[in-house]
Structure 1
Amino acid sequence: MKNNAQNRLENTKFSVLDLVPIVLGASTFEAINRSVDLAKHTENLGYTRFWISEHHNMDSLASSAPTLLIGHIAGNTKTIRVGSGGVMLPNHAPLVVAEQFGTLETMYPGRIDLGLGRAPGTDQRTAMALRRYRQETVQDFPDNINELQTYFSIDNATAPVRATPGEGLDIPIYLLGSSTFSAELAGKKGLPYAFASHFAPTHLHDALRLYHQNFQPSAQMDKPYTMACVNVIAADTDEEAERLATSAKRFMLGVIRNTRKPLSPPVNTMEGEWSELEKMQIEQMMHYSFIGSQEKVARELEQFKKETQIDELMVISHIYDHAARLKSYKLVGELFKAQETAVYSS
């Protein structure tokens, strides 16, 4: 595609969020292998980081143990940063998280990110089982982050409870969210902030505004850093991309119907698949979806960057066919590679 260095997503990093989707007819073992293959592929394309989400009790996703998957991905790649998008902190004791990510950082130094969320990543009954039926208060998440940061701090060396490995290691923490709560908290704590606009677009602009308004420099960062996760499905033509996107729409349909079945093959049309109300709900959830040819996706991503001024795009692609999924990431990768080439040669 033709490139213009002046308007091609300048200074924007591109990364990957992977939910480790299980496709219809395949096993969880195959889902994990596909994620490893995707990580290798995106590493070769120059993506910045590869994050794994945490979800539980879902037949459609194999990401219930993100820490184990992060280690597996990191062990099968060489340079790409690998992390959690995110660890749902209320599900875990902060000490355990510090020890696990301290171990990962020790094994793969300089490559591990710790993204933290406060949603359960599952239904309420499963959340209660994970949390041993303890009710969460509004202050628990900030307190747990403080505790986690304490375990990573070298100043904790004389404390009676310490994280080994973990203590004194440089493991960047990111706060994730789909509302304004974590945005304001991330700003006050001087941490980078990632918004889940791939399924919850409503509060994106308010969250970014509050983050910037509340930002205070910290030991980790001296200026704000924002990320947004978006759905991207790129193909040779707009028509082919729209057809591939029906798998993502059917996946979202399962979410609102609470059926959560494995990712299904694409269909030629969504007519008859959903009601008008369901169509409206899914179109709202997938508002920040960039579907089409490379040229169309480039134009729309540039507009998104202009409107949000984010520093980094996290790309998620629910595509049934693995080869088509790899190709989508390749087409997107060519956008920022073309930008880098133009900048270096100008």
Structure 2
Amino acid sequence: MLKLSVLDLLPVRTDQTSADSVAAAVSLARRADDLGFTRYWVAEHHNMEAVAATSPAVLIAHLAANTSRIRVGSGGVMLPNHAPLTVAEQFSLLEAMHPGRIDLGIGRAPGSDPVTAYMLRGTRAEESGVDSFPGDVELVAGLLGSDDTPIADAFDAASQPGVVIPLRGRDYSLRSTPRTASSPMLWLLGSSTYSAQLAARLGIAFVYAHHFGQSGIDSALDLYRREFQPSPALTEPTTFLTVNAVVADTRDEAEALALPQLITMARLRSGGTLGPRMTVEQAQAETLNPMEEDLVADQSARWIIGTPDTAGAQLTALATKYGVDEVMVSPIASDHDGQDVRVGAGAERTLELLAAQQNS
């Protein structure tokens, strides 16, 4: 049976505060946990009032504490914004708190505008972060690792996992703490052959961001599988896809719930800014120009929007076509005027209907 997971960007609707969006994420994660979804990932975006997900590690701690079974992770941590040791330590701590339930998904986009990216990097502000990305991913992979050695024996550096850091003429052994008996699963996110090739070379799992674009998926997955080099963390190539999805009891309702996000992305792609997500009624009252209408139609054809049977068949066909056994759904449904702002009813209904269809 196809495994389903969830990607939550924590959008903020026009009738919500950021606190409402976080509360809705907790409710959605609990629902995904109850319904048997495999993972629940959150993103990293900065200086965007329309998105509440600025710190994946903080959100993961909160969501994992409010769920019991589901794996919780980042989709992803934008590594150019962070020091590799900071990321490794944060996720080692999360793994210590929630053993066997933490995923570390890493991306190389800044997740923001150039000025915000500059401020996030602090003393590394003059660096783009992109050139050092392959080495930084390798550092994170090396710093992580499971180790159940008793603390009294932990000072035998020769027997410990980690990395060697050359500094001022000397070599220093370094690894992330706290030491954990298990390790977060490391994933590299991307929508190009660049990320696929890097994931293959490092022997880590790869996620193709199908919700961003589909043009290079065949070449990226083929390259990843062909060039994959086994590592201590992973012996075989492992991958899945992300997709945008809205599922409702009728096609008309699914299209209505999808319209706010369709308009938002159409305006972003045509040079606009990312504003708060509209309600269904607000979106239906909008007047679109010809370019926006074309973009809405294009996206609608590429996203999964429909009834449970139609959506389930599309997901299964997608998984079969690309040889994956898991698809991560970004439930981008909005809601109607007057609905509870601390619950994403449309998103939760999408998960409920997909789970029921998969189990039928």
Q: Same fold (TM over 0.5)?
A: yes
Aligned equivalent of 1:197: 210
Q: How far did 1:13 drift?
A: 1.3
Aligned equivalent of 2:62: 72
In the alignment, the residues of structure 2 paired with residue 55 and residue 76 of structure 1 have an alpha-carbon distance, to the nearest angstrom, of 22
Greater radius of gyration (CA): 2
Aligned equivalent of 1:208: 221
Structure 2 gap segments, 5+ residues each: 146-159, 165-171, 336-343
Q: 1:58 is matched with which residue: 48, 51, 63?
A: 48
Cα distance change on mapping 1:282 and 1:128 into 2, 3 Å = farther
Alignment length (residue pairs): 328
Q: How far did 1:278 drift?
A: 3.0
**C-alpha contact 1:22 1:60 (8 A) present in aligned 2:** yes
Q: Does 1:109 align with 2:122?
A: no
Cα distance change on mapping 1:270 and 1:30 into 2, 3 Å = closer
**C-alpha contact 1:247 1:266 (8 A) present in aligned 2:** yes
**C-alpha contact 2:258 2:334 (8 A) present in aligned 1:** no
Q: 1:146 is matched with which residue: 138, 141, 164?
A: 138
Aligned equivalent of 2:345: 323
In the alignment, the residues of structure 2 paired with residue 59 and residue 268 of structure 1 have an alpha-carbon distance, to the nearest angstrom, of 18
Aligned equivalent of 1:245: 258
In the alignment, the residues of structure 1 paired with residue 129 and residue 90 of structure 2 have an alpha-carbon distance, to the nearest angstrom, of 25
With structure 1 as the length reference, what TM-score do the two structures score? 0.88
Residues 194-247 of structure 1 deviation map (CA, whole Å, 9 limit, x = unaligned)? 111112222222211211121122212222111111011000111111111101
**C-alpha contact 1:175 1:191 (8 A) present in aligned 2:** yes
Q: Does 1:13 align with 2:3?
A: yes
**C-alpha contact 1:196 1:230 (8 A) present in aligned 2:** yes
Equivalence map 1:133-172=2 (5 Å): 133-136=125-128, 138-153=130-145, 154-156=160-162, 159-166=172-179, 169-172=182-185
Q: 1:97 is matched with which residue: 53, 67, 87?
A: 87
Cα distance change on mapping 1:20 and 1:75 into 2, 3 Å = same
**C-alpha contact 2:187 2:205 (8 A) present in aligned 1:** yes
In the alignment, the residues of structure 2 paired with residue 269 and residue 62 of structure 1 have an alpha-carbon distance, to the nearest angstrom, of 21
Q: 1:296 is matched with which residue: 280, 305, 310?
A: 310
Aligned equivalent of 2:150: none
Q: 1:43 is matched with which residue: 24, 27, 33?
A: 33
**C-alpha contact 1:19 1:53 (8 A) present in aligned 2:** yes
In the alignment, the residues of structure 2 paired with residue 224 and residue 160 of structure 1 have an alpha-carbon distance, to the nearest angstrom, of 29
In the alignment, the residues of structure 2 paired with residue 202 and residue 280 of structure 1 have an alpha-carbon distance, to the nearest angstrom, of 18
Q: How far did 1:190 drift?
A: 1.7
Aligned equivalent of 1:121: 111
Q: What one-letter code is carried by the residue in structure 1 that aligns with 2:359?
A: K
In the alignment, the residues of structure 2 paired with residue 212 and residue 218 of structure 1 have an alpha-carbon distance, to the nearest angstrom, of 14
In the alignment, the residues of structure 2 paired with residue 305 and residue 152 of structure 1 have an alpha-carbon distance, to the nearest angstrom, of 30
Larger mean CA deviation between 69-78 and 257-266 belongs to 257-266
Q: What one-letter code is carried by the residue in structure 2 that aligns with 1:99?
A: E
**C-alpha contact 1:152 1:168 (8 A) present in aligned 2:** no
Larger mean CA deviation between 291-300 and 130-139 belongs to 130-139
With structure 2 as the length reference, what TM-score do the two structures score? 0.85
Q: How far did 1:275 drift?
A: 2.7
Aligned equivalent of 1:341: none
Aligned equivalent of 2:278: 264
In the alignment, the residues of structure 2 paired with residue 28 and residue 243 of structure 1 have an alpha-carbon distance, to the nearest angstrom, of 24
In the alignment, the residues of structure 2 paired with residue 54 and residue 286 of structure 1 have an alpha-carbon distance, to the nearest angstrom, of 25
Sequence identity (%)? 38
Q: What one-letter code is carried by the residue in structure 1 that aligns with 2:316?
A: E
In the alignment, the residues of structure 2 paired with residue 213 and residue 205 of structure 1 have an alpha-carbon distance, to the nearest angstrom, of 12
Q: 1:30 is matched with which residue: 13, 16, 20?
A: 20
**C-alpha contact 1:13 1:312 (8 A) present in aligned 2:** yes
Aligned equivalent of 1:227: 240
Aligned equivalent of 1:276: 290
Residues 117-164 of structure 1 deviation map (CA, whole Å, 9 limit, x = unaligned)? 001111222222222422336541110011112222432399454422
In the alignment, the residues of structure 2 paired with residue 26 and residue 44 of structure 1 have an alpha-carbon distance, to the nearest angstrom, of 25
SS of the residue corresponding to residue 227 of structure 1 reads: strand
Q: What one-letter code is carried by the residue in structure 2 that aligns with 1:305?
A: A
Larger mean CA deviation between 291-300 and 66-75 belongs to 291-300
Q: How far did 1:276 drift?
A: 2.8
Structure 1 gap segments, 5+ residues each: 1-9, 339-346
**C-alpha contact 2:82 2:121 (8 A) present in aligned 1:** yes
Cα distance change on mapping 1:204 and 1:288 into 2, 3 Å = farther
**C-alpha contact 2:107 2:189 (8 A) present in aligned 1:** yes
In the alignment, the residues of structure 1 paired with residue 215 and residue 49 of structure 2 have an alpha-carbon distance, to the nearest angstrom, of 27
Q: How far did 1:271 drift?
A: 9.2
Q: What one-letter code is carried by the residue in structure 2 that aligns with 1:211?
A: Y
